[in-house]
Structures are given as C-alpha cells and as structure tokens.
Structure 1
Amino acid sequence: MDEIINAVSRGDASSEDFGGLRLPDSYRGAVVRREDVAMFEGIASRDKDPRKSLQIQDVPVPLPGPGEALVAVMASSVNYNTVWSSIFEPLPTFGFLERYARLSPHAARHDQPYHVLGSDLAGVVLRTGPGVNRWRPGDRVVAHCLSVELESADGHDDTMLDPEQRIWGFETNFGGLAELALVKSNQLMPKPGHLSWEEAAAPGLVNSTAYRQLVSRNGAGMKQGDNVLIWGASGGLGSYATQLALAGGANPVCVVSSEQKAEICRAMGAEAVIDRDAEGYRFWKDEETQDPREWKRFGKRIRELTGGEDVDIVFEHPGRETFGASVYVTRKGGTVVTCASTSGFRHEYDNRYLWMSLKRIVGSHFANYREAWEANRLVVKGKIHPTLSRVYPLEETGQAAYDVHRNLHQGKVGVLCLAPEEGLGVTDHDLRARHIGAINRFREGQAPTP
C-alpha cells in the first residue's frame, strides 16, 4: 500500500508505473459480517449503533474481470445505504450478495461472509480487466454506484431499468469504504481537478440521485421558475437538490431542523427557508394518526414565502413522517418525486388531494449512466460544489455512519482511505481558488460563505 500511496503522491508517475505496481494480497475495508446480522434483534431502529457492527477487516484483493477496474481508493463517503447496511435494515445485505452470486460464476465472488460497503470513491485506477479501453492505470477517477449487466433490452433506453440493476457497495461487494475497490469500468468518471480526494468523493451518489430526481425527464423535469420544496435541504441529498434548483433557475423552499442548517441554505443562495423545529410542525398526532391541520398550516407558510404560490415539485426522501404533508402542499398538477424513506417505508396520504388535483407521485432511484455523467460534469465545471462537512479516517467509519444515522451532520461525511491527510489531490488550483468559499461552505468550524 505504501508503494501505491507514494506513486499517487508523486504526481508524475506514468500509466506504466501504476500498471507495474505490485498488488498486495489483502486490503483493509469497512465491512459488516454475516455472523453479526442478528446482533440488533429487538432493538429499535433509532437505537441500533453502526459503531458496533461496522468493522475494519483485511480481505483478499479481487482481481478485475472483463469490463472491470481495480481502484486505489484515496477517499470515500457515507451514504444512507451504508447506515441501512450497518443496522441490517430493511434486510441484511447478504441476501443481495447471494442473489447476485447466482447470476454467473464471475458474480459468485461477491458472496462472502463479509460485505465491504461504500457507494462513493475518489481514487486512481490500478488495473483494468479485458475489454476496458477508455481507462488506464494511473487515471484519476470518481465512481458512480450504478452496476448493471445490460444483457436485457429493458435497460437500453434507461440503464436504471435493467433487470440486473444493482447499487455498488450496497447490493454488490468490494465497495468504496476501503483501501481498494472493484468496479465496472463504466462506473468511472473523471475526478474534478479542483477538488481534494475527500471533496471529490462526496458528491457521487447524492448528486446523481438529486439530478435524476429533479432535472431529468425521468424525474420531475424541473424548469426555470418552479417552486421546489426540499426536505432536509442541508443534508446529504437536500444540499445537492438545493444547488441544482438554484443553478436551474428554480426557487427552492428549504426545510431544515435548526437555525444553523437554515444559515447553510441561505449561504447557498436560498431565500425561502423553513425551520420545522422552530416553527413546531408535527404532522402526526400519534403513531397511527396524521394531523391535516398541520398540513394546512405548513401549506400556508409555504405560500407566505412564495408570494402566494404552492410548490410545483416536492423533493421527497424522509418518507413516512412527511409524505402526507408533501402530497397535500403540492400544487394542482404538480409532482412529488421520492427516492427514499429514511423515516419509514410505509407511507400514508389522503388520496383525494392526489387524484382530484391531478398530482403525480414519481419514484426515482439513483441515476442512469448519462444522468450520473451529467451530474459529475456540473461538479467538474464548478457549477455544483461538494457539501462535505467533516472527515473521518477509515478506522472510524462506524462513527461516520453513526453521525449520519442520528442526523448529527450537515451535507456529507467523508472518509479518508489511502489518502494520508486531507487536502491532497488538487490539480486545478485556479478553478479551486475561484470557488474556495463554496467548496468550504459546509466545513465545520468555518463560517458560511455566500
């Protein structure tokens, strides 16, 4: 590993130099173990602790097969799927690995008693398998997390519809929260040169997800002038949705849970911000009963911020806690687009407000190849910025996941893998200087920068 780190640090190592590096027999990864899947039985979801289930373990190095690449991971980040994996909800991920293994002898490598997690990375290509032509050892890359086989015509127009679509590092093994990672080569994209390793590793999953959800024709098809309600607008997903809305000429209505998070949204350029805790919104009277009066109060507050207009689009991901309110406050003919259910998978809403007002509910999951590439292109050009708030070493991945699980963070939480310290990997210093305030906007201990 030291030879790999030295080659990356030199900055002038050739593709042949990287291709000639010796691969170790094993590498360290953040894993959950099959033997631990019952460890949280009888414990409420909120009280399950990723620090107890996520382990740093040496695992054998998988060699890239046809169409694959082995990447030296300099940095990664935590997404909510890492939290789900670490608390074994809604199901232990080993079932995903077992199903994938039945696809082919090649896929069988993924079925292990350990699962290396992580659906983001920034790093350097070390090896490529047969049939890989675009990428070479030494290329600096980030990876999106869409893994597909594309043997069925179902996925040829939209790769997310492939019957064998999976999320890398969640439904496959050898993910990015590790020193090395195995990916399909078509997951790779150019690393933004103006960002450090840990900054470049932050946007991938959430930025692509938000792009499909809001911008793509497969999602809400946002246009200039739209009012867009964004739940958790300073969080991992919401912080990118807010930026995409602003960059696309829409008007984000940002919902957050503290004044500090409200200030972050204002620093991004949002003018309409609702601190739901300060204003006391409680959409459920109890575990079984929602409160429509709170929906109405919420809708009235939105109209106060938009000049009397309802929202055209609701960017949904909390799920059970907010979904009834989301359907209610959407304008006639508007769209609720949902990509997750972090507060619960069983949604309830009053269907009268949907069918009689011709509203739509659109399901959105990650992004197809083109959408992921377009989302990364915006980062490369300095139009969308990372929302990294704090960074942990690989050894403390459990704490990083705990922060996300308990909503103790803003934006994204990063993890250093092979990078020995923060701030490394920048090659375009001029572009960085032009955007340094926005790049650092979410960093703890720094004042928000307009």
Structure 2
Amino acid sequence: MVNRSDVHYFGAGPAPLPTAVLERASQVLLNYKDKGIGLCEISHRSPDANDILADAKQALTTLLDIPDDYEILFLQSGGSGEFSATVYNLVSIWVEKKRAKIAEEVGDDKAEVLKRLRKAVDEELKLDYLVTGSWSLKASQEATRLVGAQHVNVALDARKANGGKFGTIPPESEWNLTPRKSGGGPALVYFCDNETVDGVEFPAFPHSLEGEDAPLVCADMSSNFISRKVDVPKYAVIFGGAQKNIGNTGIAIVILRKSLLPPASMPASPDLLRELNLPVGPIILDYPTIAKNNSLYNTLPIFDVWVASQVMTGLVNAYGVKRIGGQEEISNDKARQIYETLDRYPEIYRVVPDKAVRSRMNICFRVHGGDAEKEKAFLAGAEKRGLLGLKGHRSVGGIRASNYNAVSLSGAKSLVAYLEDYAKAA
C-alpha cells in the first residue's frame, strides 16, 4: 500500500491539502464537537455554522490584512461562476448609476430617461478584459455571451505578441483600455492574476489601473490565493475557487468592496435591465443578496468552509505577524529552486512562459522540445519516485508542476532532485 507520506502531488486542482487538516476532517465528518452527528449533517442555519463562517472570514482578513470596508462572501459558483457574477453585478451597478445621473438632468420624464439610458448603454457600456491565458479568455467569452461583443473590450490579447500563444504580458503602454473620465469609464476591468493552464502570473498590480479615477478592478486569484501579499484596497472584487490553495472543491470566495453594496450602490431593477436587453443574473450570484444573508441565502456547504477555515487558520498560526508574507517567502523559495534547476539544463528543459511573468504557482515546461514519447517517459519516471500530477493541461500538453501551499519544501526538493537526475541521465 502506498502511504500519503510516500508521494508528493503537484496536480493543478483539486490540489493537495495539509495532511493535518484532512486528519481533523475525517474526525469531524463522523462526529462534530461530540454532537453525535457529522459536520456535513449540521444545519447551515445553526450557531455552529455561523461560527465556522466567522472563523473563516477572520482568518482570511488576518492573512491578507483586509480592511473593514470590504465584505467576504462564500458562494457555490466556483471561479467560473464568478466570471458571470462579476458581469451581472457590476453591469447592474453601472446601469443604475447612469440612470440616476440622467434622471437628475431630465427630472421625472421616465420616457426620456429610458431613451437616454438606452443610448448610453449602446454607446458607452464597456467591460475591459486583459486576456493573458486560458482562464481570462474564458472570462471574456462569458462576458461576451452575456452582454454581447459590442460591450466587451479585449484591451489586451497576449497571444498577439507571442506568435498566437500565451506566455507573455506585453507592456501596459500597449494595452487598449477604455478611457477613464469623470462619470464614465468601463463597468469593470478584469484580469486573471495567475493563469493555471499557461503558467503566467502578473508580477505586480498594473500601474495603469491605479489612481483616483481607478476603474472597478476584478481579479481572479483562484490559483494564487493566500500565496503572496495582496494590496486589497486596489481591487473592487477579488474572487477565486477554493480548490487550489485554500480548500477542497465546492466553494468560491469573494472579497468585495462594501461601497458596491446597498445602500452605497444600488443595482438596476430586473425590469429595467430587461428593457435594456441586458441579462438578469440568478439570485444565488447576486452579491447584495448573498451579503445580506451572511452567505447563507441558500444551503452553503459548511464542511467546505470549515476546511478552508482550517487551512487559513493554520497559516495564521504558523506565520504570526508575518501573516501571508511568511507563506510568500516559502512559495518564492520553492519556485526559485525549481526554475533554477530547469534553467540549468536548457538542452533538456524549456520553460514555456517568458521569464518576467513566470508563475510561482504553476510551473509549465517542456522536455526535449516537447517530444511526446520523451515527455511520457519523464512522467513515468516521476511517478516511480512518487512525484504525481505533473502532466500539463490537456489543451497545451507538456509538464506542469503546481507549486501550491500544501506542496512542502521537501516535495519541491524531491522534484528538483528528479529534474537533476533526469537531465544528467538524458
């Protein structure tokens, strides 16, 4: 029998979880707090469920130093569901703000308000997308499906600067962002902070999205959540699926600026959106509804939240005043060791993305120039050493070592040793 301690798993998601968390999970699944029933069986309306939610929020707040003017939501949509949710919610806010401004100008003439609002939507409504990999591409495609291509501005398609493939992030001077002006600008600017499939990560927050008139920035952090420091106030919405660094499959986490919630911001009414031929989102993706109900509008999988809370609390306890900076140091060290080894043998290994935007979380490379048989042999040799989950995404092939938080330093060193041995024997 193969023991858990005999292997190191580098799969991109669902990803490994800390063994100590899984051991506690096996206990609470059977009997939570000596109640005689398991955690999956308790009511999501119970005091215990509310305590779990509060603990998870507090741990994430501590790790990322989230300000008081932000709300944390838990939803069952996954990261892909948030592609839709951000569009539904922020377009609705944009429309209502535009309606209110027009109403101030024309008074109670509802027909005139609607006429001008239709014109504003047709001519001004834009959603900006920075497409740097497979997931940001999917997000832009979902926005196009929901609101129409005329409202979606792909401000950056990184493939155009890289021979039709992802792997670079062109300089910001080449981005075609919707102009920001007083009372105008895009409804949102979306980017994926770390592209799981393509191994591309933004090295820092884009300078062009900063400033007093900064747009509403939505960032998908599914695969690098709680792996490095985040300047939260620069973002309107941060979201991510839990199944990479935070927990198991089943929930998405949203960090949302409270000024986007009532009474500070009001969404357009469903009737108005229908009159404007804009989509009305499902209630379970409606941020005001989820926030008002403490993420418990519908039956939330509390076990999944408990796992996330355990993982995040473990990091809080491990790093103390360093907060997420402690994990960032380890993540950087693991990635550095792996990349340095790959770069040491350029005749054997080729890292796919440009060096300036290499992901610390998803290390994508080819073996012997992408020779299919040799890459198959490489993977087989890795499995013999207990190094699992290294096969690249089916859409791009190659090798991918996902360096998530639960991959230990010893796991990274084991991979480095195999890379060294393989290269020397090749």
**TM superposition score normalised by structure 1:** 0.32
**TM superposition score normalised by structure 2:** 0.33
Relative contact order, CA 8 A, sep 6+: which one is greater?
2
Structure 1 or 2: more helix by fraction: 2
